[in-house]
Chains A and B, each alone.
Chain A
């Protein structure tokens, strides 16, 4: 079946630094990818919709200057958490929508810890 990978699977960074998370669709093309955030024991909150070759669409309340999204190719989207703070610590999950079948597949998630 279709696979979505995320890298890194976990990262620890110091407050004030930036962290980049990659999301790749391994065996299909994805015009659209989605970034979610999941707090411990809570649901997934959609942060933004990433469209290949154009600007991302952010959900209300999500700071686009803090969470930079780049969808440069049909198989890769990146989320950069800029000037990270401890409150940004969370589990970040991406999903990719197959451009042909419109099925959506989820990555395994990236756990970010900001110290």
Chain B
């Protein structure tokens, strides 16, 4: 079945450092890919998404490119801030299986130090 694998955390960075969180997926069809963020004590928020190969999703300085050849959707940010400290979830939604249900990766906790 469909699955998402993302790098284990926690990831600890200093402010203004470069961030990469790796994500790879397995799907039978052509899924849409997402990154969600969960700040401490809050619910899930959609950070960015891409719906087809080579699409780049971007938001708040974060970006990720849908790479079909490597089945990857790595999250990057050029310069992180303390306020970016949160848990980041990679996810996919495959219209060919399960009626658009979203499958999540395990989550990667990010700590950014001042």
Contact = CB atoms under 8 A, between A and B. Distances in A.
Interface residues of B, number: 19
B93 to A, nearest CB: 7
Given A43-B89, A93-B43, A109-B43, A104 B100 contact: yes
A67 interface: no
A36 B42 CA distance: 15
Contact of B105 (A36, A43, A93, A102): A43
A48 B93 CA distance: 15
Contact of A34 (B36, B46, B102): B102
Given A43-B105, A43-B107, A109-B43, A102 B100 contact: yes
A108 B101 contact: no
Given A32-B99, A34-B102, A36-B104, 9 more contacts: A32-B100, A41-B107, A41-B109, A43-B104, A46-B103, A49-B101, A104-B102, A107-B43, A108-B43
11 contacts: A32-B100, A41-B107, A41-B109, A43-B89, A44-B89, A45-B104, A46-B103, A104-B93, A106-B36, A106-B45, A106-B46
